[in-house]
Amino acid sequence: MTARSEPPRSRRERPAKPALTREGIVATAVEIMRAEGLQKVTARRLAQELDTGPASLYVYFRNTAELHAAVLDELLGTVEPPSAGGDWRERLERLLTSYTLMLFEHPSLARSALVSRPGGRHYLNLIETLLALLDEGGVPPAQAAWGVDLLLQVATATAAEQATRDGSAAAQDEWDTLSQALHRASGQTHPHVAALASQLLSGTGPARLSWAFQSLIHGIAHTPTPTDDVR
């Protein structure tokens, strides 16, 4: 006698799939990004991971850019506010450095962050903390409002630039070429370049980042915004 085959399993007997939620989708997107890079965070890839159809995800996210912005906002939750005490400028710098280092850890996200516009609670928390520190330092509100945008632009661009260099096989050759060009500059045609060739390339990454933030913070505190453009 031939063995009787098992009857097909009823769909009702299968474990129910967890209900889709925005939080669950974002958490899965973060996992994919950590393992495979942001370029793999697409509706199709997420749908495969969540055992659903891509159309189901568009209920929560209109497009890939909005999804990437949500991933960025989720990771902003790992940027801890600076501890209390000490000079407000130092605490502001520590916060900006923490934000930049978070982007360093996720190169593809750093590049995306240049154009992504997160609007979640972690982004709002970051903006609130930045504004509070500027307010603590007596920076006028209009300057603080414009200054936050400038500080985050520089931090994001720095992380994106570094991420691009780190991922380039030709990064060292490009650096060597630049160094040679600066040091070979003629004192007759480019006197300032020739005189400052070594200084143009000096300093460690952390030292230059710290100087950039402190220069911006000082400038924001002492540069009024155009009164006719402020709304």
Do 189 and 176 share a structural domain? yes
Do 57 and 80 share a structural domain? no
Task: Report the SS3 class of residue 91.
Answer: helix
Q: Output the pLDDT for position 11.
A: 46
Do 89 and 55 share a structural domain? no
Q: Output the pLDDT for position 38.
A: 87
Q: pLDDT tens string for the chain (231 positions)?
A: 455 555 555 445 545 566 889 999 999 999 999 888 888 999 999 999 999 999 999 999 988 889 999 999 999 999 988 888 889 999 999 999 999 999 988 888 888 888 877 888 999 999 999 999 999 999 999 999 999 999 999 999 999 888 777 666 777 888 899 999 999 999 999 999 999 999 999 999 999 999 999 999 999 999 999 976 555
Q: Output the pLDDT for position 108.
A: 83
For residue 196, which of 185, 212, 207, 209 has the smallest C-alpha distance? Answer: 185
Last residue of a domain, one of 38, 62, 86: 62
Alpha helices in 51-204 (DSSP H): 54-57, 64-76, 88-104, 107-112, 121-136, 141-166, 171-183, 191-195, 197-200
Domain holding 80, by residue range, is 63-222
Q: What angle do CA 169, 207, 158 make, to 5 degrees?
A: 50
Tokens of 164: 């691009």
Do 88 and 25 share a structural domain? no
DSSP element (H, E) containing 205: helix 205-222
Tell me if 228 is assigned to some domain.
no
Do 188 and 107 share a structural domain? yes
Q: Output the pLDDT for position 13.
A: 55
Tell me if 36 is assigned to some domain.
yes
Q: How many domains does the chain fold into?
A: 2
We report the CATH number of the domain holding residue 28 as 1.10.10.60
DSSP element (H, E) containing 36: helix 22-36
Residue pointed to by tokens 């600076």 = 82
Say how far apart CA 1 and CA 3 lie, in whole Å. Answer: 6
Do 108 and 25 share a structural domain? no
Do 67 and 38 share a structural domain? no
Do 127 and 163 share a structural domain? yes
